Structure 1
Amino acid sequence: MTYGARLSNSFHGEWELYVITDLMSYDDWPEHSFGQTGPIPTLQERADALAQLGFVLADDAGWEWQERPTGVMDRVELLASADVWRKGGAS
């Protein structure tokens, strides 16, 4: 089963990664805080965080970036997403 991983800068600007699973509440989704506002976590740091959460990137998956502006003079929120699998269980 494929899940969606998300990397975003939180309201306070710190980078966090979470995996959207079949659990009903977002409070129960696996998550990892990088505890930093910059720079953006590297590909290896993201892979390590996913591994700690029990996931790996799906075959041929890459991170896709989006900007979420809240207004022309406001800070832009960045969001990256990628397809992931549970470790040891492709598809």
Structure 2
Amino acid sequence: MRTLTAQMSNTGRAWHLYVVLYGETEWPTFRWERTGPVPTGAERRAALAALGYEVAPGAVWSWTEDSRVPDDDSTPVLLIAAVTVRDRDGGVA
């Protein structure tokens, strides 16, 4: 079964979870219409299931931070989470 990367970020208005599909122009995406709190593990699992994916066995979410403007650490922080996922049986991937 193939594995992919799911990422989650906050634009300052909403949380977005998406599955990275290289070579595709549109990626499966889920959106929470809130800035906080961070979606729980259960909410993320449900969103991935709705998109046809599940967290790969043994995978854990990792977090990194970035700057909204590259090389300018005085701008708001952009949090990005990532996890390895796989297609669920009968998924859309």
The equivalences for 1:33-72 within 5 A come to: 33-69=31-67, 70=69, 71-72=72-73
Q: Could you tell me which residue of structure 1 aligns to residue 24 of structure 2?
A: 24
Cα distance in 2, alignment partners of residues 13 and 72 from structure 1 = 20
Give the match for residue 6 of structure 2.
5
Instruction: Provide TM-score, normalisation by structure 2.
Output: 0.85
Of 68-77 and 58-67, more deviation after overlay is shown by 68-77
- 1:68 counterpart letter in structure 2: D
Measure, in 2, the Cα distance between the counterparts of 1:72 and 1:5: 26
SS at match of 2:64: strand
Instruction: Provide the secondary structure at the position in 2 that maps to 1:29.
Output: coil
Contact 2:13 2:33 in 1 (8 A): no
Unaligned runs of 5+ in 2: none
What's the TM-score once normalised by structure 1's chain length? 0.87
Q: Which moved more, 1:71-80 or 1:42-51?
A: 71-80
- Amino acid aligned to 1:45: E
RMSD: 1.5
Kept in 2: contact 1:67–1:76 (CA 8 A): yes
TM superposition shift of 1:18: 0.3
Matched residues, percent identical? Answer: 37
Over residues 41-89 of structure 1, what are the superposed CA-to-partner deviations in whole Å (9 max), with x where a residue is unaligned? 0000000000000000001001000000232321100000000001028
